[in-house]
Structures are given as structure tokens and as C-alpha cells.
Structure 1
């Protein structure tokens, strides 16, 4: 299991590495002292796991996760502050360890990671047996509470991540389905549905207007609804390549 430690304090990184010597399945493949260094390492090494500090000079650990596109490792937050716990789990963190980190708590966190990665592999193996890419003409069954829909995917203009759920936007409906945005992205036709940022997938057929946005990104306005969605800087490069002559 490949892991990266992200912490601006060298002593904290060294202490965590010392504790992780008790877990031979964890292979520390890199260290970063800030978010920008970490993003570069994640792109290069595709680790399975991040041990991530929250309060760092410049960008926080939350900022780092918000800037990741596509591939996102499992996350264990390591911090000296307990007030960020609720927000941490909004980012689907597997655990939240308070410094100084105790060995038994680290052991519990590592076990959670091992179980989650095993479950992911099982889901991947199952999906490969009969995976089908869904296009805009495919119809899907959606159930939210007592309400049910049989909707053509081409009518869905937007998918929005809501923790472990995804909200679908079509007509004037906004049902929630129990599925991660990453899992959903693997099933959708990339010629029609585009990953705009960490939280959104947009239907390219619904784009009404495109504007330059901050830091080299773009902002698109969706036809009919008027919803404005940011395309992050890194995804904006892919977007231009995809839609240019």
C-alpha cells in the first residue's frame, strides 16, 4: 500500500514514519511539506493513501483535496486540532488522528484503510465482469425515498457529489443516489459527460455559455437552469483539448 505523508513539520513527518514502521504493508513513497508539493507527488505516484495535515502554510489540507481531479487517494487526517473533524469527514476521510498520534489509534486507522481498499478491489472486480458504459440515450432507474424515476441520461444536465451520495439534476428534479462521483464517472460516456471539478460532472450538451474564470479555469452556464459550474484550471486544459478542432 503506497502512502504519502503531507505535513509542514519535518519532526511530525519523522515521528509518523517511525510509527508506521510497525505496519509493513504501508510503503511510504513520498513526503511533502505543503499542498502544492503533495499534488505533484500524487499526480506522479498515485498513492493509495494520504496522511494529511490540515493547517499548513499557504493552502490547507482541505484546499489540497479540493484541487485534486480524477484520482483521489484514501485520506487519514493528522492534526493537532479537533475542531475540523466534521469537515474532514465531509471530504470522505477514513479517519482523523490527533497529534501526538498514539500507536493504537494509528493501528485502527490503518485497518480501516486496508478494509476499504479490499472492498474497492472487490467492487472493481465485480464491475469488470459486466461493466457497460452509459450514453445519453440510455435510461436509468432512480429512486430517492418514496419517489422513483426512469430517466434518459441525456436529460441529466449535472451530477453533484454530496459526500457518499450524488445528486442528479434533470428537469426540475434533484434526487440523491447512493453512489460516489468517481464510481459514476467510470460508467458515463466521456464524450457526453465531463468531470468539471472534484464535485461536478456536467452534460456537455447543456452548456450555454463559457467564460474565463480564476487561475486559468473556466465557468460554464447550463442551458435552461442557469446553473454556473466552475471548471478547474487543470480540467480546463482537458476541456479545451476535448472540444477544440
Structure 2
């Protein structure tokens, strides 16, 4: 049985999670709850849970403040939130589960099963540590790492190590500066959103490119991007205008 703590500033949200867990007979026992960050930190210290249901947006101190106040993160986290743009992006960057309010029972079940699997493997929660680095160093983008979950491992890659991404149906292949490739079971549009502020450009339905690795834009053969390693990346007609703007070129 998974021992869990719930931290949410609204009591009805805590009760809702408890009811959903009981109704769907999920293997979770609630060992404590709190309605503010300080009480939440104390509750975690007192109960040593396996899992934390954590609201991001709370008055005075938010969910990330709770995590910052803890010396160790020897538990899994499922964020439960309405919407917080940077918060959600940071969570996605670290491949950590989150649930949007109101909670979908099916999504809750999936999240709990993932937690079960992680606890059974008894691995250090590197995803949560990566999230905390993102929150602490929000503006130090060159140091940010993206969590890439393949079938064998979760690899944490600096964004500057990613040359390009290529779509393969519902999968995305990452090409790295060390010559290795990583296949991730998420569609490329999710990474387009996550990497947009890191100078990645979507030049084609199937391609997302790190701007720093572009050598030139070649106009012949319908146009393509030539990368530093001489890889040719096609340019789709619908994305050409935005591409030119991103490259600070003048359309002729």
C-alpha cells in the first residue's frame, strides 16, 4: 500500500482526492494532509510518505516552496493544480505527473500505477531533483535539463546537447551532440511547446531544430535547412514565414 500525504489549501479538494482513491479502490493510504505549505512540510517530516499529492498554487507559499523547504525528496509527487503556465512547463520538462482540477479518475489511476512501478524499482527520484533545479534556476536556461523517458531509462539532457528532434508517428527521436539518439513515446508537438523558449524552431511537421546548429538556409530544391553536420532538414511551406522570422532573415 502506498502511503500518501495531500497538501492543498482547499479542504474540499483534499476530500475529493480521498473519495476518488476509495471509490476506485486504488492502493493508497492517506497518512496526513495539510492546507498550507508550512503545515505540509511538518506533515511530510512526521509521516515520511511514499507519495505526495501537491497543489502548485496556494496562498503565500506555493507547492514548489514546500519542496524547497525539504532537505531530501525521497518520495514521488503528483502535482494537482488548476493551471500555472511556468509550473506546468517545468513539471513537463522533468516528466513528472500532474493532474488538472477537476481530477479525471482515469488519469488518477494511470498516475497511481506509475507511482507503484517507480516505488517497486526503488530508484532515486531524479525527476523531482531535476524539477527543483528548474525552479531554483528559472532563468539559467543553458543549464536546464530535459527528461527523456525511453523504454530503458530516463535520461536527463541539457537543451544545448539536443541538435534536433524528428517525429515518427506518436514517437519523437532526439539527435544529440554525442552522436546518440533517444526515442521517446511522445509526439513532437509536446516538445515544440516545451523547447520554444530555448531557440528550437519547428520548420516542418516532422522536424524541430535547435537554432544554434543551423549552418544555412538553402533556397534551392524547395528550400531546406543545412545543419552543421551537413544534415538536410526540409522546410514546409506553411512554416516558412515563421522560420524566416526566427532566423532574422528577409523573405525575397
Compute the TM-score of the two structures, normalised by the length of structure 2: 0.47
TM-score, structure 1 as length reference: 0.48
Structure of higher CA gyration radius: 2
